[in-house]
Structure formats: C-alpha cells, structure tokens
Amino acid sequence: MHSVNTLKACPVLILCLAATCSLQAQGVSDILKNVQEVSATVLATGQTQSATGPDADMAAAIDLLKAQIEQSMTAFTKSSMPDAEKLKLFDKSLANLDMLLDQTKEAGALDGLIQKSYAENKKKLDAIKQKANDTSIPAEMRAKYESRLPSFAKAIEATGEKRLVLIRTRNDLAKRRDLVVQNKQFYIDMMSFDDLEAANQTLDNVITSMNNLNDVIDNLGAALNPAGSGGPTVR
C-alpha cells in the first residue's frame, strides 16, 4: 500500500478518471452547457427590465432555475452513489485507459503510424529538394519549394522528437495507472469528497437563482404598477 504523499503523484489521472465516471453516470456536460446558455440571457441580481419586457426576464430566470435544479439533482445523484457503483464506473474507466495505453505504447498502433509518417516524409523531403533545383520547373514554383523546405524539414524532425516525448509520457502514465489500481478505494474516497463539495455548490446556485427570480417577480410587479405600489412581496 502506498503512502498518501506517493498517491499525490498522479492528481491529473484521478481528475481524468473522475470526469469519465461522471460523464458515464449522468449527462453533466449537456446540463452545464444549458446552464451557460441560459445564464447569458439573464441579468444579474437586482436586474431591471430588458428590451423585450419584464416577462422575458421572468422566463429567462425560470429557465435558469430549472437548469440549475437539474444540475443539482444530477450532482446529488452522483454524490449519493454507493461505492460499489462508483467502483464499477471506475473499473470501466480503467479499462478504457488500458486500451489507450496499448494504442500509444512503443511499437503500438499510433507509434507505427508516426514512424511510417516520419519515414515517408523523409523521402518526400529529398524529392522536394530535387524539385527546388530542377530548372525544368517554373522559377516561381521552385522558389515556393525552396521557401517551404526549412519548415518542412523542421516538422519532420519535430515528429521524431515528439514521438520520443510521447513514449516517455505514456510510460509515466502507465506507472500511475498501476498506482491507481493498487489503491482504488483511496481514489474512490477522494472522489466522494469532491462530489459532495460540488453538489453543495449547486445548491448555492439554486438558491441564488431563486433569489434572482424573486427579484424579477418583484420588478415585474413594479412595472405593472407605475404608481410604485409594486407587486406582492413574499420575503
């Protein structure tokens, strides 16, 4: 069993696994997108009438509240998930990670394509050098070849360098994957901490949106009563 300090070595991996588990459990990303889109149409707390009238403000505020309640329900569904269910999603994420590690290993599928591209483009570089010096080719075309040769040569060498970096990074990830497998329950517990904190934040958003809707309704009442009597106040 590894110490907590050792486990801190792979925070990015736990975040990636947590995000994958989250998306598998619920369509959080779609809800967040909905919230962001609706939020753009709603004025801040203490808002005044929009150009389309106070009724539009009320509709937008209700849509925002609806989206944030849905987000909160999703968050609390996730935070109340038993460890056994989280473990199933976690294992599924690890299986996906294993597939990606296999694809990116040295001599794996991606590495094979990288090496093939490197070799093929080295041949093309030699061919283009010949074209740049071929007087049977129009001068403007040869000049274009000549101007692009340095960057093309650099790009080829960059492919070879990035391949080595990819292999090293992939191997580092594989080591972290093994650490996670050995300490799955620890990571499940860490996710539970984060899940509840995130769920509580959604409640703050719901409360803020409710207060915002209260303000919109009060402003709507004031707009319908120019004398200043306003609408009914419930707070």
Q: What pLDDT digit, counting tens, does each position of 117-147 carry? A: 999 999 999 999 999 999 999 999 999 999 9
Residue 232 lies in a domain: no
| 1 located within any domain | no
Residue 165 is predicted with a pLDDT of 98
115 falls within a domain: yes
Answer yes or no: is 230 within a domain: no
Residue 5 belongs to some domain of the structure:
no
> Smallest Cα–Cα separation from 17: which of 163, 179, 162?
179
Contacts (Cβ under 8 Å, ≥6 apart) of 107: none
Does 231 reside within a domain? no
Determine the Cα–Cα distance for residues 17 and 21; give it in Å rounded to an integer. Answer: 6
The pLDDT, as a whole number, for residue 219 is 86
| pLDDT value of residue 131 | 95
Taking the model in full, what pTM does it have? 0.64
pLDDT band at 32 (very low <50, low <70, confident <90, very high): very low
Least confident of 41-45, 163-167, 221-225: 41-45
Which of 90-94, 107-111, 170-174, 222-226 bottoms out in mean pLDDT, i.e. has the lowest? Answer: 222-226
Which residues span the domain enclosing 167? 10-224
Residue 207 near residue 31 (C-beta atoms within 8 A): no
Amino acid at 186: F
Quick check: is 219 in a domain?
yes
Q: Between 38 and 100, whose confidence is greater?
A: 100
**Residue owning tokens 């459990």:** 25
Q: Tell me the per-residue pLDDT of 49-99, one tens digit each, with 9 for 90 and over.
A: 343 555 678 999 999 999 999 999 999 999 999 999 999 999 999 999 999
Please enumerate in sequence order all residues whose Cβ is within 8 A of that of 80, keeping only pairs 6 or more positions apart, or say none.
Answer: none
Return the pLDDT at 110: 98
Domain count, the chain: 1
Predicted local distance difference test score (pLDDT) of residue 13 = 56
> What are the residue ranges of helices labelled H in the chain?
4-7, 11-25, 28-39, 54-79, 83-104, 109-132, 139-182, 184-224
26 in any annotated domain = yes
